[in-house]
């Protein structure tokens, strides 16, 4: 897909990759990401945010920097959670378009260009969704995780307030740069529910959110712990709901 090639060449893109103890995985996936970026009109930057890792994640990224001047690294002093890592990266990026992807690159890279085109065509926020009819799952999650996902989607609908976004947790989201800074500058959730907070805040502030069907491959090395993290999710969903009810996110509209 090469539509809007001239516009893409004039825009700058940053891809944020949150990472906690991902030294081995990043050694495999970052070269793949850079090989793809070399074919992308206008190129792009990669910003890895090391979320207080206790392994050699930072060293693995720094080892690639001499060959990739478009690679940056932010190191957090302690583990804050995926939401905290993504927020740090999104607020540090100064490009026209900024997005984040998981370190395992579960979402096919072809969708990055589709996301850029959607934003050029008017979307403020573009999110990958595995729940759309045209999406494809190459490797499925185990049955117990699929059941957990269905329960979460219902919680997100009832408590989180996103009835029209069936897959808020897909780790593939891109934003107009100014919109990213607006939303993440107001977000407070540090762990898994940060996606839902940001998406609901985008609706609250009248930004245009579009969903994109994606090709997705499950990584069996998931960092999600169903027992501990489910309780945290429920707590954070309740916190998000309370903050909206009490006006902590400001009045509706972009002026917020």
Give the DSSP H/E element, type plus range, for residue 136: strand 136-139
Residue 168 backbone phi and psi in degrees, to 5: -75, -15
Strands 125-129 and 97-101: unpaired
Q: Does the structure show a pLDDT above 80 at 58?
A: yes
Q: Give the whole-number percent of the chain exceeding pLDDT 90.
A: 60
Per the CB < 8 A criterion, the answer to whether 99 and 212 are in contact is no
Q: Identify the top-confidence range among 107-111, 138-142, 230-234.
A: 107-111
Give the pLDDT confidence score for residue 6 in this predicted structure. Answer: 33
CB atoms near residue 77 (< 10 Å): 6
3-state SS class at 75: strand
Q: Does the structure show a pLDDT above 80 at 136?
A: no
Task: Encode pLDDT of 164-214 as tens digits.
Answer: 555 677 789 999 999 999 999 999 999 988 999 999 999 999 999 999 988
Closest CA to 173 of 211, 217, 201, 137: 211
Q: Does the structure show a pLDDT above 80 at 221?
A: no
Q: Return the structure tokens found at 81.
A: 């959670």
Query: Does the predicted model carry a pTM greater than 0.85?
Result: yes
Q: Return the structure tokens found at 215.
A: 């090709």
Give the pLDDT confidence score for residue 215 in this predicted structure. Answer: 83
Closest CA to 57 of 25, 86, 80: 25
| pLDDT level of residue 2 (50, 70, 90 thresholds) | very low
State how far the alpha carbon of 191 is from the alpha carbons of 82, 147, 168, 212, in Å.
5, 21, 14, 23
Give the pLDDT confidence score for residue 135 in this predicted structure. Answer: 57
């Amino acid at each position: 897909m090469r539509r809007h090639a001239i516009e893409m060449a004039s825009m700058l893109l940053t891809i944020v990759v949150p990472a906690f103890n991902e030294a081995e995985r990043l050694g495999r996936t970052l070269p793949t990401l850079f090989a793809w970026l070399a074919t992308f009109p206008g190129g792009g930057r990669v910003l890895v945010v090391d979320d207080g890792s206790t392994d050699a994640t930072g060293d693995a990224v720094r080892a690639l920097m001499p060959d990739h001047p478009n690679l940056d690294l932010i190191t957090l002093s302690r583990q804050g959670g995926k939401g905290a890592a993504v927020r740090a990266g999104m607020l540090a990026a100064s490009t026209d378009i900024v997005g984040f992807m998981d370190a395992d690159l579960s979402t096919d890279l072809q969708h990055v260009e589709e996301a850029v085109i959607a934003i050029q065509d008017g979307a403020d926020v573009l999110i990958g969704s595995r729940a759309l009819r045209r999406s494809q799952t190459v490797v499925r999650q185990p049955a117990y995780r699929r059941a957990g996902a269905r329960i979460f989607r219902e919680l997100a609908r009832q408590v989180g307030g996103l009835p029209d976004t069936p897959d808020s947790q897909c780790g593939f989201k891109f934003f107009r740069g100014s919109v990213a800074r607006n939303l993440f500058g107001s977000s407070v959730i540090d762990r898994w529910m940060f996606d839902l907070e940001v998406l609901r805040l985008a609706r609250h502030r009248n930004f245009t959110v579009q969903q994109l069907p994606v090709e997705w491959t499950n990584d069996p090395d998931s960092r999600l712990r169903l027992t501990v993290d489910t309780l945290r999710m429920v707590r954070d969903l309740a916190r998000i709901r309370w903050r909206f009810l009490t006006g902590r996110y400001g009045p509706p509209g972009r002026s917020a």
